[in-house]
Amino acid sequence: MSEKFYSRVSRIVAGSLNAIIDAAEGISPEIIAKQSIREIEKVASDIKLELGKDVVKQKLIKERIDSYNAEHNKLLAQVKIALKEDREDLAEAGLAEQISIEEKIKANQVQMDALQKEITTYQEYLDKLSAKKKDMDSELKALSSKPNAIDSLATKDKLDKAEEAFYRVMGDELREADKTSKDTSKLNELDELAKNNQVSERLAALKATLNV
């Protein structure tokens, strides 16, 4: 999953604020800088969301591995008892199950290692975006200190042009990624609305049944 952010982050890190300002003719450099910072924050927010998901997945896998290990130890104790009681058939069954558990532990460990690699990559992306945002904040501060260089009236039209300039320089994949993010957000909201409606319907039916 982390690969899908590689191009977005690389373009942002390599992108020049001056190039974005040049692409947005007639728009205040300050507005351009602020819009560029917002776009960086959008990408960082998307990455943090995926990072959070991976951390949760990693925690669940660790709990699963711990459970497998506990079961493995329990089987070992049972196998020893079976052997003492001269029940080799039961001991063989327990050992076979242990082998199966060991395979599951290995498979889960592979997933754990892959997630850790992805988490590390996400953290590196966030560090790069943070550094880029810091640079743009400094540039914005420098622009704000210049007399007669600021057009503080940030109308929707100007913001749209500033956003268009950002995507023109940074690449269309950023625009598509942001659009997908917005669409996903709307679908999540729709899903939540549907769930809330189900709760309301069931509550009403229960109240009717209980005459309350």
pLDDT exceeds 70 at position 183? no
Domain hosting residue 57, numbered range: 2-170
User: Are residues 90 and 64 part of one domain?
Assistant: yes
Given pLDDT bands bounded at 50, 70 and 90, which one contains residue 48? very high
- The stretch 169-184 carries a mean pLDDT of 56
| Mean predicted lDDT score pLDDT of the chain | 77
Query: Residue 101, class by beta-carbon neighbours within 10 Å (0-12 exposed, 13-18 middle, 19+ buried)?
Result: middle
User: Are residues 92 and 27 part of one domain?
Assistant: yes
User: Are residues 80 and 179 part of one domain?
Assistant: no
pLDDT exceeds 70 at position 4? yes
CA-nearest of 6, 27, 2 to 168 is: 27
Given pLDDT bands bounded at 50, 70 and 90, which one contains residue 153? very low
User: Are residues 88 and 132 part of one domain?
Assistant: yes
The pLDDT of residue 150: 44
Q: What pLDDT, in 10s, does the model give residues 57-82?
A: 999 999 999 999 999 999 989 989 88
Q: What pLDDT, in 10s, does the model give residues 106-149?
A: 999 999 999 999 999 999 999 999 998 888 888 777 776 665 44
User: Are residues 212 and 180 part of one domain?
Assistant: yes
User: Are residues 64 and 48 part of one domain?
Assistant: yes
In the chain, how many domains are there? 2
User: Are residues 135 and 51 part of one domain?
Assistant: yes
User: Are residues 126 and 51 part of one domain?
Assistant: yes
User: Are residues 135 and 84 part of one domain?
Assistant: yes
User: Are residues 38 and 28 part of one domain?
Assistant: yes
User: Are residues 156 and 126 part of one domain?
Assistant: yes
CB proximity list for 115: less than 8 A, separation 6 or greater = 54, 57, 58, 61
User: Are residues 194 and 105 part of one domain?
Assistant: no
Of 134-148, 151-165, 195-209, highest mean pLDDT: 134-148
